[in-house]
Amino acid sequence: MIKLHFHPTPNPFKIALYLEETGTPYEVVPVDTRKGEQHTADYKKINPNSKTPTLQDGDITVFDSTAILLYLSGKTGQFLPANNPKDRGEMLQWLMFIATGIGPYCGQSVHFKHFAPEPKEYAVNRYDFEAWRHWNIIEERLGTHKYMLGDTYGIVDMALWPWARMIPRILNEDAFKSLPNVKRFLDEVSERPAAKRALALQTQHEFKTTLDDDALKAMFPSNERLKKAGA
């Protein structure tokens, strides 16, 4: 059976949603990143990048959420556009837009707004600007398309959905007022039974919720270098 190494954050939720949508049997292996379980020697054997998610399918191991989506869709053949260069090219460009734009800029926006020490005005401005810029591109796209690739729900939408859930924290609490098409998309996907089952994973498994010094050390190990430099 497939094993999904999971933490309740956007990238692992993509994979849980795809597995639920396709009815693929899988086992959840919790990885508590606030406890530092992503840095253990055993976990780094399957994911040298020390991130979640990681997928194990028999003797095959795949890390990085976009790679996993492409692996699973290639295996199942489900939720893909027509197999021609035009449609597959369109899928890949938007999938990579999420992977290289939405994810990194939103992640950095959250980091500098909520976790970084002062002074941080320059960094907050840069990443907030870029996060907004990327979401405005999505907003425009969803203004003319029901889903990211047209009228058919697919893996690009699954990749986008968990990041859309985080918009109030990424941008601000009122951001959806400026992104009505994204909000419409989010509400629709969130009502899918598979999305509800995917979200339920965060309460079916126990994860550390406190953000104490140990959690900060596990989540942001680079800060330890600053402490040593200032010692």
What was the pLDDT predicted at 70? Answer: 98
Point out which residues pair with 62 in neighbouring strands.
55
Point out which residues pair with 3 in neighbouring strands.
27, 56
Point out which residues pair with 26 in neighbouring strands.
2
What was the pLDDT predicted at 216? Answer: 86
| 2-78+196-222: CATH superfamily | Glutaredoxin (3.40.30.10)
The tens digit of pLDDT for each residue in 59-73 reads 999 999 999 999 999
Percent of the chain at pLDDT > 90 equals 88
The encoded tokens of residue 27 equal 């086992």
What was the pLDDT predicted at 222? Answer: 84
Helices assigned H by DSSP within the chain = 10-22, 41-46, 65-76, 85-97, 103-114, 121-144, 155-164, 167-170, 180-190, 193-204, 213-219, 222-230
User: How big is the chain by its Cα radius of gyration, in Å?
Assistant: 18
What was the pLDDT predicted at 160? Answer: 98
Are 195 and 189 contacting, i.e. CB atoms less than 8 angstroms apart? Answer: yes
Domain boundaries, the chain: 2-78+196-222, 85-191
The tens digit of pLDDT for each residue in 22-32 reads 999 999 999 99
Poorest-confidence range of 96-100, 124-128, 212-216?
A: 212-216
> What average pLDDT does this structure show over 10-33?
98
CA-CA distance, 90 to 129, in Å (whole number)?
25
What was the pLDDT predicted at 109? Answer: 96
The tens digit of pLDDT for each residue in 30-48 reads 999 999 999 999 999 999 9
The answer to whether the predicted template modeling score (pTM) of the entire model surpasses 0.85 is yes
39, HSE (Cβ side, Cα atoms, 13 Å): 11
CATH architecture of 85-191: Up-down Bundle (1.20)
H-helix or E-strand spanning residue 54:
strand 54-57
pLDDT beyond 70 at 229? no
What was the pLDDT predicted at 82? Answer: 96
Mean residue pLDDT of the chain comes to 95
pLDDT band at 221 (very low <50, low <70, confident <90, very high): confident
79, HSE (Cβ side, Cα atoms, 13 Å): 25
> What average pLDDT does this structure show over 169-174?
97
H-helix or E-strand spanning residue 2:
strand 2-6
> What average pLDDT does this structure show over 147-170?
98
* CA-based max dimension of the chain: 58
What was the pLDDT predicted at 230? Answer: 61
